[in-house]
């Protein structure tokens, strides 16, 4: 499978302008022979709480119908970080749209960023479900940005949901650039899975985003990578055979000691 990760800048609150950019990068991915393209976190509204509060929409209008049309026209699968309004709740979500333009999965960000000045939880509600979906002979596990700091989520996606490609939409800032690189590589190595990371560049009025979108293979090798500060499209080919080879050579899943992990700490 050939997959693309789009590294873009967005304008807070300019949903129509952001959608034009998403379409442009989808066209580039299609021209490069990609079967799927992944976009960053909150690509429709931009990542400020004010813009999200004012511009978040239900999926029967706003960004998602346009993304469905683009997917259908290009015969291209799309994974995109978007806002999702449902009743009184707003979710920081990923939508998965197949090449026929159908919504085939959604993921609502599990770990909200509650650190000043973002305070995501003041606007968004947290999701509470793992989301994984078959994509040919691979299986995507969906996560968003801050989720990357929680290895338990990725282990659950790999073990319980059978994911072997972690697809991450992100708006990660420059002050923690090295954390992004290290954590993305760690999640790939410890789960012997691909990581496909699409991160923002530019700024939404706060710390600039650090780009560095990448694809990491199940051995932990970075097989495609973008700059830290420019809009780019990275392309990589994923292989189920590579996953099988890495897992066969070092069968860490078989060596897990769940009898120990699930034992409560001794109380002295």
Is 41 noted as a catalytic residue in this protein? yes
The catalytic residue among 124, 145, 210, 214 is 145
Residues facing residue 224 across a β-bridge: 215
With both helix axes pointing from N to C terminus, report the angle between 63-74 and 15-31 in degrees, rounded to the nearest 10: 20
d(Cα 78, Cα 23) in Å, to the nearest integer? Answer: 11
Q: State how far the Cα of 28 lies from the Cα of 233, in Å rounded to an integer.
A: 8
Which pair of structure tokens corresponds to residue 204?
Answer: 């939404």
Q: Tell me the C-alpha distance between 266 and 152, whole Å.
A: 22
What backbone phi and psi angles, to 5 degrees, belong to 104? -110, -10
- Could you confirm whether 50 is annotated as catalytic? no
Distance CA 160, CA 71 (A): 29
> Per the residue annotation, which of 109, 120, 124, 214 is the catalytic one?
109
Give Cα separations from 166 to 108, 154, 171, 194, 198 (angstroms).
15, 8, 16, 6, 11
Please state, as a whole number, how many other Cβ atoms lie within 10 Å of the Cβ of residue 36: 27
Active-site choice (21, 35, 41, 124): 41
| Catalytic (active site) residue 114 | no
**Measuring CA to CA, how many Å separate 32 from each of 15, 18, 40, 195, 224?**
26, 21, 19, 20, 14
Catalytic residue positions?
41, 109, 145
């Amino acid at each position: 499978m050939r997959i693309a990760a789009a590294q873009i800048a967005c304008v807070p609150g300019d949903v129509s302008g952001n959608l034009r950019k998403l379409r442009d990068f989808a066209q580039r991915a299609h021209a490069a022979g990609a079967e799927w393209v992944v976009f960053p976190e909150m690509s429709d509204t931009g990542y400020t709480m004010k813009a999200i509060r004012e511009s978040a929409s239900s999926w029967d209008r706003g960004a998602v119908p346009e993304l469905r049309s683009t997917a259908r026209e290009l015969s291209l699968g799309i994974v995109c970080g978007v806002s999702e309004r449902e009743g009184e709740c707003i979710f920081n979500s990923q939508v998965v749209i197949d090449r026929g333009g159908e919504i085939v999965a959604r993921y609502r960000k599990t770990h909200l960023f509650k650190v000043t000045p973002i305070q995501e939880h003041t606007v968004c509600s947290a999701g509470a479900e793992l989301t994984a979906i078959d994509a040919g002979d691979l299986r995507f596990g969906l996560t968003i940005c801050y989720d990357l700091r929680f290895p338990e989520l990725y282990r659950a996606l790999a073990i319980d949901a059978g994911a072997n490609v972690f697809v991450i939409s992100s708006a990660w800032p420059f002050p923690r650039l090295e954390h992004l690189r290290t954590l993305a590589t760690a999640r790939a190595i410890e789960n012997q899975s691909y990581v496909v990371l699409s991160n923002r560049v530019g700024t939404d009025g706060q710390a600039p985003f650090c780009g560095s979108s990448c694809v990491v293979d199940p051995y932990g090798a970075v097989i495609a990578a973008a700059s830290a500060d420019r809009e780019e499209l990275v392309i990589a080919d994923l292989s189920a055979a590579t996953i099988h080879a890495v897992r066969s050579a070092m069968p860490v899943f078989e060596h897990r000691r769940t009898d120990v992990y699930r034992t409560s700490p001794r109380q002295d």
